[in-house]
Amino acid sequence: TESKHRRRGGDLKTRSTELASPATVSPLTAVLPASPTGKKSVVLSSETRKELAKQAKVTKEERRAQIDERYKYVISRLADGIGLSEQKVEEAVISDDKFQLIEQFFAPSGIKKLLFFYQDVLQPKSNASLRSDESTNSLLQKKLFITMGSTEDFTGTCAFFLRISDKVVTVSNVSQEVNFGIFDCTNGNIIQGLEFFLSQIMIPALKSQENWGAVKEGLKNSQVQGFLYSVDKFVGILSSSRQNIEGKIQLTKVDIDVYVSNLQNPSDYITAG
């Protein structure tokens, strides 16, 4: 029994030593000490990076093969609105991890909006792509990407596509079923961007609209007139708010000690209040 016990203990010791041996660590990944932010930096081997790059290339080519006239319509509108070449827009679209949202937008009864942001985002430097979790290894670069509009801060230009019905978006009806617009919020000035969008684009378009669906007589209808009046009034409020902000109202620091030192009894506090 004693010999069996020793042999069994020796086996456990050997097994523990083997498990703890550095030689058993996978050559594909290695974990470095935690960064100052508390996150661990993972360094990938060259073989792993090559495999990931290969998979990404295959995915992009599969997506490129999906591009039909509907996708080309989206790409063309984006290129015109943002000022990029269609080749650059296409590359950004097929590289986006939210690429599937485009197909969901085209589907019958699909999502009603498709948003793209074009703005500065933190991108890893080429010589530090393996440790991109550290802000010191990143820099701001313009990027076009698909978004739901609820997770990323909006600081640049928003290009949006809106569906006007639940019909499936096809090659033949994409230009009739999909509306496109640009909302510019350069430098994060949302109020100015919204004011310009409503006053220079939406209101003129609404006031020239002849077909208001079930509403009869179009612009002569009191409900339509009331709606347009409300929009005009809202734009006026935006304009006033923007002007107040641009006035840069600043509060002057007051030395409160001068006033407090003169308060001697309860009646002084009441009078001061």
Nearest to 81 by CA among 192, 197, 171: 197
Q: Which residue has the tokens 């430098």?
A: 187
d(CA 41, CA 136): 13
Mean pLDDT by 10 residues, the chain (273 residues): 47 42 40 46 76 91 95 97 96 96 96 95 64 59 93 90 93 94 83 88 87 83 92 92 75 66 68 64
Q: Number of helices (H) and strands (E), helices first, in the chain?
A: 11, 6
Domain boundaries, the chain: 52-123+138-187, 189-272
d(CA 71, CA 102): 8
Question: What is the per-residue pLDDT for 135?
Answer: 47
Nearest to 155 by CA among 164, 168, 142, 136: 142
Cα separations (Å) of 127 from 31, 52, 91, 130, 188? 19, 17, 22, 8, 30
Under 8 Å between Cβ of 156 and 121: no
Strands in the chain per DSSP E:
29-34, 40-44, 113-124, 138-147, 157-163, 178-184
Under 8 Å between Cβ of 173 and 167: yes
The DSSP annotation for 149-165 comes to: SSSS---SEEEEEEESS
